Amino acid sequence: MAAPLPFRTARRLVLEHVAAAQVPPPAEIVELTSADQRVLAQDVYADRDYPTLDRTARDGFAVRSADLPGRLRVIGEVRAGARFTRAVGPGECVEIMTGAPIPDGADSVVMVEHVRRDGDWIEYESAVPAGQFINERGSEATHDALLLRAGTRIGYAEVAMLAAVGCARVSVFRKPSVAIIATGDELVEPGEPAEAHQIRNSNAYSVAAQVARAGGIPVILPVARDRLGATRALIEEGLTYDLLLLSGGVSAGKYDVVELALAALRADVVFDRVAIQPGQPLVFGRVRARFFFGLPGNPASTLVTFELFAKAALEMLGGEPARDILFTQARLTQPYKHRGGLTRFLPALVTGDADLTPIQWTGSSDIAALTRANAFMVVDADRMEWAVGDWMPVLLK
C-alpha cells in the first residue's frame, strides 16, 4: 500500500484532475429572485456609468468651494431622485440630501451638522476642497466595465449588482447532481428502530446537506450492503450522476468492498490515503468520465474530507474556478501537543476576539462533539507543540 499523501498534495491533485477534465456545465436562465448561491454563466458588464451623475455622499449643502469660508444664501433643495434646474452662482448654495445629483455650478458639499443656518442663509467657517463628499460620475464603474465574471457564486452583494445593472433574469450554470451512497450492513435509516449493534445512517444526510450548501443537487441512493455485487450495482447507478460520493467501506477491513467494486469497474484511482486525521482512508478517482470520492465511514471523517476535497471538486463541476481553501486564524486558549506526522482537523470553538478552544471528543465517530464545535482547528503535521496565545489556522464550519 502506498504511503498516504500530504494534505496539500492530495488537494492539489483533486483540483488538477477536475480542472483538466472540466467542461462548462449547461446554462439556464433564472429569475433574479432565485439567483442567490447560483453560479454565473455569463460575464456581467455595466450598462452605464455608476454613479450616472456626480452625486452627494452626505446630507448638507452643495456649495462652490471658492465661496468658503463665508455666508451663503440657500436658493433651494434637491433630494435623491430629483434634479435641481438652476446653476449655483457666487454666494449661493443648495440644500442637498444623500444620493442627490450635484447641481451645476457646485463643486463641493458641506455637512448639515457643520453649518449654522439662519433662515435662507448658512455660514461655514472653514475652507473646503473641491470634490468633498462628492461621488463622481463613473467612480464606481464606467460604462461597459466588467463587473462580475462567469464562474462567480452569487451572494447578496452580487444580487444587488445584478439588480443595479438591470438584470431581472440571469444566466447561471446548472447545478451538478451528486449521488450519495452510504455503505455497511450496520446501517439503518433515521426513521427506523436501531438495535444495539446497528447505527443510523447519519452520513448520507449530513453529506447531502454539505452538497446542497456547496451548490449541488444531492440524491441519496439506497445503502450499499457489504457485498461486492450489490455495491457494484449501486456504484453503477451512482455513475449516472455528475459526481459520486461513497461513505464507508474504504478501509482495510475484511468487508470493506468499495475499492474492490471500483477496481471491477476499472476505476482510475488517483490516491487512496491522505495523511490527515480524521479521514486518512480517502479514495479519489474517476470511472467512465465521472469523478468519485470514497469518503471514510466515521461521521467526522466524512464531514471533514468532504469539506477539504469533495467540496472543491463539486464547486468546479458547477462552473466555479479552482481556488485555495480558506483558513482563518484564531488564538489558542490552552496549550496543545500532538505527535506530528498528520495534519489534523479537530473540532474546536472560536469565540470572542478570535479565541480558539479545542473541543473534547472521543474520536471521529463522536457526532455530539461536532455539534459543540463551530470550526476545525488545523494542526500542522510538522509542528509538535503550541502555547497559550499561539495563532493556529482554523476551518470554519
Domains and CATH numbers, the chain: 7-26+175-317 (3.40.980.10), 29-49+140-173 (3.90.105.10), 55-135 (2.170.190.11), 328-396 (2.40.340.10)
pLDDT recorded at residue 345:
97
Beta bridge partner(s), residue 294: 246, 283
pTM for the whole structure: 0.90
What per-residue confidence (pLDDT) applies to 165? 97
The pLDDT value given to residue 254: 52
pLDDT single digits (tens) 48-94: 999 999 999 999 999 999 999 999 999 999 999 999 999 999 999 99
pLDDT value of position 1? 59
For the chain, which residues score pLDDT lower than 50? 255
pLDDT of residue 122: 98
Q: Residue 317: what pLDDT?
A: 97
Which of 392, 385, 381, 386 has its CA nearest to residue 328?
Answer: 392
3-state secondary structure of 256: coil
Q: What is the pLDDT of residue 24?
A: 87
Distance separating alpha carbons of residues 283 and 197, to the nearest angstrom: 27
The phi and psi torsions of 321 (rounded to 5 degrees) equal: -75, 160
Q: What is the pLDDT of residues 189-207, one digit of tens each?
A: 999 999 999 999 999 999 9
